[in-house]
Structure 1
C-alpha cells in the first residue's frame, strides 16, 4: 500500500492552512533561514543516494542525455506554462493576499506549483516507493514540504493548500507506473537509479539555497533513461 504520496499531500494541506492563518506574524528571518536548511537537507540526501552507485559512467551518460532531452523538449518551460494556465481560476477562487499585486501572486504561485509537483525529490521518491515499497524519500519531502508550504502560505494565503491535489495525482501515477517497471529491474539498475535521483536532489538543494539555478525539471528524463543504460553498460562492460 502506498503511503508516501498521501503523507506528502497532507503535509502541504496542513502547512498551507497554518501558514495562511499565521500570515505576516512569522518573522522575516525565519522565512529566509528555513529554505536554506531545506536546501542543505536535499544536498545531504542526494549525496547519500549517489554513493550507492554501481556503474558511474552509465549514470553520467543518463544524466547528460536526460538533460539534453529535457532542454530540447523545453520540459521545465512546458511545466511552467501548464501551471500558468491555472491563473484565472486561482485568482477567482483565492484572491491575492494584501501587499501582493496580481502579477506577484501568480508568479510566486506558479513557481511553488512547479516546486511541489515537479521536483526531482517527489518524482524520484514516488517511483522508488512504487518499486521498493520504501517511502523514506517521500517522508523526507513531507517534512520539507510542511514547512515550505507554511512559509509560502504566509504571503500567498490558502491557495497554497490546493497544490496538494495535483501533487498527489502525479505521485500516485508515478508510483503505480513504477510497480510495473519493478519486475524488469535488478539490484544494479536500482542502485544506479538511486544515484541519478541523488544527483537531481543535489541540484535541487543548490537551487533552493540559491547557489545555482539548475533546470531541475529538464533533468528528469534521466530517471527514465538510467535503467536501460545501466543494463546495457553491465552487459557490454
Structure 2
C-alpha cells in the first residue's frame, strides 16, 4: 500500500455515507430530521467527553509543571481564538463553503454551508485524524484511519440526511488536513509525544462541545476561529515540559 491510502479510504467513506444520507433524507420528515440532528448533537457531546479525558490523565499531568495542565488548555484556547478571530477563519470557512455551494448549484435556502462547516470541523478534530495519518505516513498501518473511516461513514450518512451536499464537500478539508499529517509522518517519523497529542486532543474536545451546542441550537460558537489552538496547545505544552 502507498502512503495516504488511509486518508483516501476516509474520503471515499465520507462521500458514500453522504450520498446514502442524502438519498434517505428525501424520505425523512422534517420532524425526524430535527430529531436526528439533536441525536448527533448529543453524540458529539459524548465524543467531546472522550476527547477531554486526557486532561485528567496522570501521564499528561506528569509531563507538565504541577497544576499547569488546565492553564495550558486555557491559554491555548484564548491565544488560538484571538489568532483565529484576527484571521477571520470562521468567515473564510463560511465563504469557502458558500463558493462550493454555488459550484454544487445548491439553493441559498439549503443548509449547504452549515453542513460543510459542521462536518469539516467534526471530521478533522480528534486524535484519530492525526495519529492515524502520521501512522499511515510512517508505514505503520492504517488501522486507526479504518476505524475513523467507519465512524465518519455513519456520521456523514446521518448529517447529510438533514444538511445535504455540504457534508460531502467536507471531504476536501479532510483530505488536505490528513494529507498534511501523512506527509509529516512520511518525512519526519514520530513527530509528537503523547503529552503533546493530549494537549491537542483536549482543545479539540472543547471545540466538539462548541459544535454540539450549534447542533442543539443552544449557541452558535465560531468554532473555526478556535482552530489555531490545535497548534498552540502542543507548542505551549512543549515549552512548559522543557522548563519543568
Say yes or no: TM over 0.5. Answer: yes
CA shift, 1:214, in A, is 4.8
Hey, what's the Cα distance between the residues in 2 that align with 1:212 and 1:76? 22
SS at match of 1:118: helix
Instruction: Specify the SS of the correspondent of 2:43.
Output: helix
Match of 2:73 among 54, 63, 70: 63
Change (3 A) 1:121 1:139: farther
1:20 maps to: 22
| CA deviations over 1:80-137 (Å, ceiling 9, x no partner) | 32442453553353333xxxxx2x32xx322222223334853643322244558676
> Distance between the aligned counterparts of 2:50 and 2:24, measured in 1?
30
Give the match for residue 196 of structure 1: 200
Change (3 A) 1:143 1:168: same
Q: Which has the higher helix share?
A: 1
Which range moved further: 140-149 or 17-26? Answer: 140-149
What residue ranges of structure 1 are gaps of 5+ in the alignment? 97-101
Match of 1:147 among 143, 149, 154: 154
Count of residues in correspondence between the two structures:
226
Q: Which runs of 5+ in 2 are unaligned?
A: none
What TM-score do you get using the length of structure 2 for normalisation? 0.70
CA distance in 2, matches of 1:92, 1:121: 23
Post-superposition CA distance 1:20-54 (Å, at most 9, x none): 21233235345244313421331232144434423
Contact 2:4-2:133 at 8 Å conserved across structures: yes
Aligned to 1:99: none
Maintained 8 Å contact 2:101/2:112 = no
TM-score by length of 1: 0.72
Alpha-carbon deviation of 1:2?
A: 4.2
- Greater relative CO (CA pairs within 8 A, separation 6+): 1
